[in-house]
Structures are given as structure tokens and as C-alpha cells.
Amino acid sequence: MNNTLEIKNLNVSIDGQAILKDFNLTIPKGEVHALMGPNGTGKSTLAKVIAGHEDYTIESGEVLLDGVNILGEEPDTIAKAGLFLAFQYPLEIPGVSIANFIRAARQARLPEGEDVNAVEYYKELYAKMDALKMDRKFTARSLNEGFSGGEKKRCEILQMSMLNPMYCIMDETDSGLDIDALRIVSEGVNLMRSEERGFLVITHYQRLLDYIVPDVVHVMFDGRIVHSGDAELAKELETKGYDWVKEEFTSATA
């Protein structure tokens, strides 16, 4: 279907152990979906598999970006098709500056023989850094090297906004953030919310969803979505805790 990120009957394993079990989820453009659940339930695996990480074995299923299956493609192909994954733990790349890195990513999206317009590029980069309250001096710094948790996550949002994806998956973006950083990062995400873009926000805690208010909340357990609801569901989860999820759904999925 057009205008959706659609995950259909996805089965994924690692070393023979099933992690995602007939996983289904559809995110239309214009919506923010939150995916919550206890640790070890397969949330991060889902994010990595969609982005093309090769450590997992795909048993079956499809991931459709506007109707086109991208499952099993190379990570760069998937990114260019319009998906962005904001990492839970962004990697440090010594000697590669933020400016050069994002520029290389932009360059990769241009047809052969065309080059990034440097003047326009820097203008846009600086404007977006200002919005995220990032010091412009950061452009020359090595990507994520020696950054604090908050700086790394801001840098993820900066990349996301510079690459203009159709669908964004945010993996535990709130981990390691204090309240100030959380607010700035959330503002960055909210600025990108649009009818042209869908979000999957993966989080263990409800507090991120106070800032990025989701349209739909899904509860994931044991490799699949076991319950869905509106933003209130996140608050309910916060009160009841994940033990409730375990009690409620262990028998049902057994």
C-alpha cells in the first residue's frame, strides 16, 4: 500500500532462536507510533532488521516502504529508499567530521556526476544545528567521538533532518538523556512531524511520550505486538508496569 510503512508477518531469528514472531505493524505517513515493551522482547532487533543489519536471519515476511519490499536489501539501499534509523547507541567514527559525514550521505542520494552544493549545504546544516542548539563548531568534530549522551542523540536528529526520510525509526532515543536534552531532542522530532512522514518511536519508558505524543501506542512482548491503543495506553503501562504485560500475555502467547 502506498503511504505506509508496512511490516508483514515478519519472522526473524538469531542462532536458531526466534526473536520476531509473525510480527505485523502498519504505520501510515503522518502518524507517530510508539512501540513499548519490556527489555529483550525484540524491539531493537526489529529496528535493526528493518534497517538492513546482516546479523539476523530473516525466516519470512516483508517490510514494505510505500508498497516496495526492502527487506534483505543493503543498509544503504534501504536508507536511500527513505528509511532512517536513529540509533540507541550511535557509533563513534574517529577522523570523520559531522559535516563530511552528512555530506557523504547527501552525496550518495544524488545522481552520478552531480555534487552537493557546498554553500547551500552549510547554510542548511547550520540552520538545523541552531534549531537543535548544537554549537556550529561541532561540524568539524569527529562524528560522535567524545560526545555526551545528549550530544550524540542531537547529532542523530540532525542527521535525520538533513536526510529528509519518509519513515523514521527511533530506537530508545531517550536512553541516556537528561530532561533538557530530552526536550531539545523531542522538539527536533516534533518539528519533523508532517503528513509526509511516519515515525516509529521505540522506548522502554513512558516519559519520552510526554514530549513526543504518539497517535498509536503498541505493546510488544515476546516477538510480537500484543496490545495497541492510544496515547493513554502508555500512561497505563507506566502505572501497571511491564509485569502486568507479562502476566496478561504470557499465557495468551504460550
Partner 1 sequence: MTTTLEQPMPTSITNEPTWLAERRAAGIEQFNALAMPTARDEMWRFASVGRLSIEGFNPVEAPSADKLAELVERSGLVSERAGRSVYVDDAQASFEGISAELAAKGVIYLPINEAVAQHPELMEKYFLQESTELGSEKFFGLHASIVCAGSVLFVPKGVEVEQPFVNYYWTSGERAAVFPHTLVIAEDNAKASVVDIFFSDTEDNEALNVSVSNIHAGAGANVFRKIVQDWNEKTVSFQLDTTVADRDAQVKNVAVNIGAQRARFENQTRIEGPGADVKMYSLTVAEDTQEFDQRTFQTHNAGNAVSDLLYKNALLDNSRTIFSGLIRVAEGAQQTDAFQTNRNLLLDPTAEANALPGLEILANDVKCSHGATTGNVDEDELFYMMSRGIAKRDAMKLMVFGFFEEVIEKVESDELAENLRELIRNKFESKIK
* DSSP reduced 3-state for 57: strand
Residue whose C-alpha cell is 554549537: 135
Size of the site for partner 1 (CB under 8 A): 30
Asked if 100 interacts with partner 1 (CB under 8 A), we say: yes
Strands 167-171 and 198-203: parallel
Strand partners, 99: none
The residues in 152-171 that bind partner 1, with binding defined as CB under 8 A, are 159, 163
Asked if 130 interacts with partner 1 (CB under 8 A), we say: no
**Judged by CB, which is closer to partner 1: 16, or 94?**
94
Binding piece for partner 1, criterion CB under 8 A, among 11-19, 59-67, 100-108, 241-249? 100-108
Residue whose C-alpha cell is 526473524: 12
Among 1, 14, 68, 108, binds partner 1 (CB under 8 A): 108
Among 15, 17, 39, 91, binds partner 1 (CB under 8 A): 91
**Judged by CB, which is closer to partner 1: 80, or 204?**
80
**Judged by CB, which is closer to partner 1: 1, or 108?**
108
User: What number of CA atoms fall less than 13 Å from residue 156's CA on the CB side?
Assistant: 28
Max Cα distance, the chain (Å): 59
Write out the H or E segment, with its range, that includes residue 251: helix 242-253
What is the rounded distance in angstroms from the CA atom of residue 51 to the CA atom of residue 84? 8
Which amino acid makes up residue 23? F
Answer yes or no: are the C-beta atoms of 149 and 179 closer than 8 Å: no
Among 101, 211, 242, 249, binds partner 1 (CB under 8 A): 101
Asked if 75 interacts with partner 1 (CB under 8 A), we say: yes
Residue whose C-alpha cell is 550521505: 105
Asked if 105 interacts with partner 1 (CB under 8 A), we say: yes
Positions that interact with partner 1 (CB under 8 A): 51-54, 74-76, 78-80, 84-85, 87, 90-96, 100-102, 104-105, 108-109, 142, 159, 163
